[in-house]
Amino acid sequence: MKDTLTIGEKNLLDRLTDVDGHWYRQAKGLIDNIPFVFEILIAESDITGQYYGVNHSPTFGDFLAGTRINAGELWASYGVNSAIGSFFNPDKHIVIVHLIGFGLPFLDRGKSKLSIPQEMIEPLSSTIWNASKTLFKEAKKEKRDIAKSEREWVARQKKSIVDNSLIDSVFEVLPLGIEQATDKEKFPSNVRSLYYKVRKLIQDYTSKKLDYTYFSQNLLIRYWQNYGRNKLIYNDPRGVLYEPHSNIEVQLGTNEVEQYNFPEFQYNKILYIEKKGLWPTIKASGLAKKYDMAIIAAEGYATEAI
């Protein structure tokens, strides 16, 4: 496909004012001998907002909203808006996304979401990541610096306290615990290994005992909510998802759930049962196939993956 069909980096920049920095990326290829070109521009400009277009026509919003963007550190996000949401500043940045392709059906009557072929998702995801990774890493560093400043301030306030609360102690040592458990973020580590590191580190801050269930099901989740999840820390599987018509069984751990793609036309509901031992009875009853529902058979408490 000729580059003359794209809008192009220069044409986009010519229409912006006071651009402090910009990142433009493009991907092109063939899907079943049908060509496509995808381009994205992210810029710091006086003109801000998000703009989307297909075949040189604007769309009513993010046409990739139903597509999972999974490249670099943009993982488990659906659509451009969701993928860049952690660092996109609507008062500072402009994002322009344009796709040229033929025979791509819309998923809704409003023509706002496209059905993207599976073979096209990877190059589109990589292009979005390559265009956004500089701003993403700057925002991540800024967030770490803020968190570090907050931890240092908290540490200064605690010098006169004999016995800190368990929550404060765990939050104080978790960054170091994650660093130790992952060998300075080189290798993945499960939550239990992280727990052992944290349990030892908090002894300098509190004499209280740390229970694994309380740590994994409460404190760690609250920490992720405040500071963002570290993708190297994963939960081991606790429970299984059974698809009703394919006989596929999915172990429900962090990594397994991230890699799982919901199948089309398999099921439209999920029944959660707390006791794994009930699954043979439910399977024999045929309820899953009858009602087109998947079954989750857990092992005690519901994990974050479930």
Has residue 151 been placed in a domain? no
28 token code pair = 């092109």
What CATH code is carried by the domain that includes residue 95? Answer: 3.30.230.10
204 occurs within a structural domain: yes
Shared domain for 42 and 106, answered yes or no, is: yes
Evaluated on CA atoms 213, 215, 220, 223, the torsion sign reads positive
Domain assignment of residue 29, given as a range: 3-137
Of 200, 215, 234, which residue sits at a domain end? Answer: 234
Q: Whole-angstrom Cα distance, residue 295 to residue 175?
A: 36
Encode pLDDT of 214-235 as tens digits: 998 889 999 999 999 898 998 8
Which of 296 and 110 is assigned the larger pLDDT?
Answer: 296
Mean pLDDT of the chain: 86
Q: Residue 15: is its pLDDT beyond 60? A: yes
Q: Domain for residue 153, yes or no?
A: no
pLDDT at 162: 43
Kindly state whether residues 210 and 265 are assigned to the same domain: no
Q: Are residues 126 and 21 in the same domain?
A: yes
Radius of gyration for the chain, computed over Cα atoms and rounded to the nearest angstrom: 24
Residue 1 pLDDT > 60, yes or no? no
Q: Are residues 258 and 203 in the same domain?
A: no
Tell me, yes or no, whether 263 lies in a domain.
yes
Percent with pLDDT over 70 in the chain: 93
pLDDT of res. 164? 64
Reply yes or no on whether the pLDDT at 266 is more than 80.
yes
> Which residue shows structure tokens 């409003």?
110
| pLDDT reading at 28 higher than 70 | yes
> From CA 69, how far away is CA 73, in angstroms rounded?
10
Residue 3 — pLDDT band, cuts 50, 70, 90? low
Torsions phi, psi for 85 (to 5 deg): -60, -25
Residue 304 lies in a domain: no
Strands (DSSP E) contained in 156-238 are: 189-190, 233-234
Q: Are residues 270 and 246 in the same domain?
A: yes
Q: State the residue for tokens 């490249």.
A: 71
C-alpha to C-alpha distance for 4 and 12, rounded to whole angstroms: 13
Inside any domain, residue 65: yes
Does some domain include residue 192?
yes
Residues 37 and 132 in one domain: yes
User: Position of tokens 């092992």?
Assistant: 299
Q: Which of 234, 252, 283 finishes a domain?
A: 234
- pTM (two decimals): 0.47
pLDDT digits (tens, 9 = 90+) for 158-201: 654 444 688 999 999 999 999 999 999 999 999 999 999 999 99
Query: Do residue 220 and residue 102 come from a single domain?
Result: no
pLDDT given for residue 172 in this prediction: 93
- pLDDT tens digits for range 236-259: 888 899 999 998 999 888 888 888
- One domain, residues 7 and 132: yes
Task: Output the pLDDT for position 219.
Answer: 92
In this structure, the answer to whether residues 177 and 61 fall within a common structural domain is no
Structural domain count of the chain: 3
pLDDT at 178: 95
Does 281 lie in the same domain as 207? no
Both 104 and 7 in a single domain?
Answer: yes
Is 142 among the domain residues? no
208 token code pair: 């209280």
35 strand-pairing partners = 30
Q: Read off φ and ψ for residue 245, nearest 5 degrees.
A: -115, -10
Q: Does 177 lie in the same domain as 72?
A: no
End of a domain among 234, 249, 277?
A: 234
What are the angstrom distances between the C-alpha of 76 and each of 61, 278, 289? Answer: 20, 31, 28
